[in-house]
């Protein structure tokens, strides 16, 4: 890099400079809508747009005390928890045979498993709608929405855990067996701790995706409302300052979860290291093996 | 688990039932996934395929094979126009997204100092992980009648009344689609440009190639898989878009996804199924065109 800088030509400098400006414009493009949305949520103007007539927290108060939003929020969270549990368990369990065993048609299965990410959610939504209402004659409920979302979120967990498993040193497990660990202990003491960052990342992914999911839920939830669906029904009639405030809070929440997804693996590692250190001082080494 | 089994095999013969149990145990983890993806993904898709070839008699779906649903779709000119318009929107949006993302990825991997890159990459990802619906919605504050754009034009005196032109038409839809899918294209292209050896470009230029020729003949061929991935992952979701045309596009910006939703909301399941299958057919066609550049195992890192 340093050598390149030394011999750079005028033309190179122009390219670098104009691309730098271009990069800045791209970030402006990416963030301007979001920043404006947050800005308007504090705007006293009751039409939710320009001009800015003053600053207020009124819309946040209105959004927080709206019972429809309460309802939608509790439904959204309940669905998100169920989806997270299902897709974490199903996805983690499925990652093992996908990476390790000689599953028949393994490549075909691998494609089927990522297909729900690749095809538009619309197709998942309508096909499950037909399955539930026409074939199974089921009433639509939050449960049907949970199943639909899980189809879409589980592949992400599978991909994350499979990627981690791919780089997993199998000899660690053989060593654990040689030292007398049975399958359960091998999983508990060796495999799961090493895969934990991927599993947690997968769970947080599933949770965030579920919070935001619209189209599959829209078809499958029947009479209930999740937050995205509530916002959608409001937005149909134009922007309102309450929705701006709600949107700003939701953006904050997804950013917090995203930050957590990045930070949590490191925190866990640090805590575990601390624990091991503390335990090591008071017990003998042999205990760790048994 | 099977490695543990082979490790034991080396020392002592294992009873056959235990070996079988080991193999079964290694597949067992896949059972829940078979239920989930088989029962709630493949089976429903198969049902949709059947539905698209069945007909409705007296509000009941009859298992009688027919091409009637497709005939009906192609006999209504608004539907056909919408289908072509959707393809056109998808092609234009994908092309512009890639064209915007390429110089950005190039800048990021060539000119941005190494220590700044992780931060700038995270900043690209952040909008991607905020709510999809809210990102569409946020454009109303810019494109709407009282939005930023109209305010700006009135302020500069270009116009004295708000222009409704920005919203509720295809150009607005394309703009928002570009906004939605830019991060994905940028990250995909960055990942493949980052591995490129810049000395090759310098060598080409030393041998007399003008910079753009060098880019076209040396860089582009090497990052082709990245470009194809970006094209596919922008094009496919755009084909099935519902929210963006609904919120931003209005009546003039309607796309094929809106037709699907309208049919299903009107309980016209067989016709809706046929339109869904048209979307699927376009996706399959796209994957077929690019089949050589695609490899599923790559996604699993092996």
Q: Are residues A168 and A217 in the same domain?
A: yes
Query: Is residue B60 classed as helix, strand or coil in its secondary structure?
Result: strand
Determine, for residues B127 and A30 on separate chains, whether the beta-carbon distance falls below 8 Å: yes
Per residue in A207-246, pLDDT (tens digit) is: 988 988 999 999 999 888 999 999 998 887 777 788 888 8
ipTM of the complex: 0.82
Q: Are residues A92 and A167 in the same domain?
A: yes
Res. A50 pLDDT band, cuts 50 70 90: low
Q: Which residues of chain B make contact with A118, given a CB cutoff of 8 A?
A: 232-233, 236, 283
Q: Can you list the alpha helix ranges (DSSP code H) found in B139-268?
A: 140-143, 148-156, 170-194, 198-206, 211-214, 220-222, 224-239, 243-244, 256-265
CATH number, position A176: 1.10.3720.10
Are B127 and A30 in contact, with CB atoms under 8 Å apart?
Answer: yes
Q: Chain A: residue nearest B276 by CA?
A: A123
In chain A, positions 19-48, which contact chain B (CB-CB < 8 Å)? 19-20, 22-23, 26-27, 29-34, 36-37, 40, 47-48
Give the mean pLDDT of B138-157. 75
Q: Chain B: residue nearest A250 by CA?
A: B131
Q: Are residues A170 and A216 in the same domain?
A: yes
Q: Are residues B259 and B150 in the same domain?
A: yes
* Token digits of residue A53: 């007539």
Q: How many domains does chain B have?
A: 2
Q: Are residues A68 and A6 in the same domain?
A: no
Per residue in B154-195, pLDDT (tens digit) is: 777 666 666 665 667 888 899 999 999 999 899 999 988 888
Determine, for residues B4 and A177 on separate chains, whether the beta-carbon distance falls below 8 Å: yes
Q: How many domains does chain A have?
A: 2
Give the mean pLDDT of A47-57. 72
Query: Is residue A166 classed as helix, strand or coil in its secondary structure?
Result: helix
Q: Which residues of chain B make contact with A130, given a CB cutoff of 8 A?
A: 44, 47-48, 51, 269, 273
Q: Are residues B32 and B137 in the same domain?
A: no
Q: Which residues of chain A make contact with B294, given a CB cutoff of 8 A?
A: none
Q: Are residues B79 and B209 in the same domain?
A: yes
Q: Are residues B41 and B181 in the same domain?
A: no
Q: Which residues of chain A make contact with B198, given a CB cutoff of 8 A?
A: 4
How far B192 CA sits from the closest chain A CA (Å)? Answer: 18
Taking one residue from A and the other from B, the number of pairs with CB-CB distance under 8 angstroms is 269
Q: Are residues A20 and A140 in the same domain?
A: no
* Token digits of residue A166: 């791919």
Determine, for residues A254 and B129 on separate chains, whether the beta-carbon distance falls below 8 Å: yes
Return contacts of B115-121, CB within 8 angstroms, 24+ apart: B120/A23, B121/B187, B121/B190
In angstroms, rounded to a whole number, what is the distance separating the alpha carbons of residues B166 and A155?
A: 37
Q: Are residues A27 and A111 in the same domain?
A: no
Among B44, B108, B182, select the one facing A131 at the smallest CB separation: B44
How far A278 CA sits from the closest chain B CA (Å)? Answer: 32
Q: Quick one: pLDDT at residue A26?
A: 93
Per residue in B95-119, pLDDT (tens digit) is: 999 999 999 999 998 888 888 888 8
State chain B's mean pLDDT as an integer. 83
Hey, CA dihedral for A143, A147, A152, A157, is it positive or negative?
Answer: positive
DSSP string, A11-56: HHHHHHHHHHHHHHHHHHHHHHHHHHHHHHHTB--TTSSSS---B-
């Amino acid at each position: 890099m340093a050598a390149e800088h030394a011999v750079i030509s005028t033309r190179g400098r122009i390219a670098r400079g104009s691309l730098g400006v271009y990069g800045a414009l791209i970030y402006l493009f990416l963030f301007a809508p979001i920043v404006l949305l947050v800005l308007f949520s504090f705007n006293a103007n009751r039409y939710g747009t320009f001009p800015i007539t003053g600053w207020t927290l009124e819309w946040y108060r209105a959004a927080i005390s709206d019972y429809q939003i309460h309802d939608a929020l509790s439904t959204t969270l309940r669905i998100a928890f169920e989806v997270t549990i299902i897709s974490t368990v199903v996805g983690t369990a499925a990652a093992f045979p996908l990476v390790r065993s000689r599953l028949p048609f393994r490549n075909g299965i691998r494609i089927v498993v990522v297909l729900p990410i690749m095809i538009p959610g619309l197709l998942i939504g309508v096909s499950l709608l037909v399955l539930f209402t026409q074939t199974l004659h089921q009433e639509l409920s939050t449960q049907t929405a949970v199943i639909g979302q899980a189809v879409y979120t589980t592949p992400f967990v599978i991909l994350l855990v499979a990627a981690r498993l791919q780089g997993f040193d199998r000899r660690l497990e053989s060593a654990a067996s040689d030292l007398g660990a049975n399958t359960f202990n091998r999983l508990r003491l060796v495999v799961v701790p090493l895969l934990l960052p991927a599993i947690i990342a997968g769970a947080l992914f599933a949770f965030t995706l579920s919070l935001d999911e619209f189209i599959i839920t829209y078809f499958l939830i029947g009479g209930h409302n999740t937050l995205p669906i509530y916002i959608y029904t409001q937005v149909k009639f134009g922007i309102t300052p309450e929705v701006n405030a709600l949107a700003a809070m939701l953006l904050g929440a997804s950013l917090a979860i995203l930050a957590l997804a990045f930070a949590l693996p490191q925190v866990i590692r640090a805590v575990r290291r601390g624990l091991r250190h503390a335990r090591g001082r008071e017990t003998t080494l042999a205990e760790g093996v048994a | 688990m099977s490695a543990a089994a082979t490790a034991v095999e080396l020392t002592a013969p294992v009873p056959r039932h235990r070996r079988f149990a080991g193999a079964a145990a290694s597949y067992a983890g896949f059972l829940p996934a078979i239920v989930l993806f088989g029962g709630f993904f493949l089976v429903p898709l198969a049902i949709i395929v059947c539905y698209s070839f069945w007909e409705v008699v007296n509000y009941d779906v009859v298992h009688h094979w027919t091409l009637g649903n497709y005939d009906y779709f192609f006999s209504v000119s608004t539907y056909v126009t919408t289908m072509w318009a959707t393809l056109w929107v998808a092609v234009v949006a994908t092309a512009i997204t890639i064209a915007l993302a390429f110089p950005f990825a190039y800048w990021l991997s060539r000119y941005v100092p190494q220590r700044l890159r992780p931060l700038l990459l995270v900043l690209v990802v952040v909008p991607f992980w905020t709510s999809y619906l809210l990102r569409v919605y946020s454009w109303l504050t810019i494109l709407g009648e009282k939005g930023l754009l109209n305010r700006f034009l009135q302020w500069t005196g270009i116009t004295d009344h708000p222009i409704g032109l920005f919203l509720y038409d295809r150009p607005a839809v394309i703009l928002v689609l570009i906004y939605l899918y830019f991060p994905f294209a940028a990250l995909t292209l960055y990942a493949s440009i980052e591995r490129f050896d810049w000395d090759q470009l310098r060598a080409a230029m030393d041998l007399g190639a003008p910079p753009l020729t060098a880019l076209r003949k040396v860089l582009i061929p090497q990052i082709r898989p990245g470009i194809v991935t970006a094209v596919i992952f922008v094009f496919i979701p755009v084909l099935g878009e519902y929210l963006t045309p609904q919120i931003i596009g209005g009546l003039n910006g309607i796309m094929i996804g809106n037709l699907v939703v309208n049919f299903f909301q009107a309980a016209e399941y067989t016709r809706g199924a046929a339109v869904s299958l048209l979307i699927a057919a376009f996706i399959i066609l796209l994957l077929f065109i690019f089949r050589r550049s695609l490899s599923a195992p790559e996604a699993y890192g092996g």
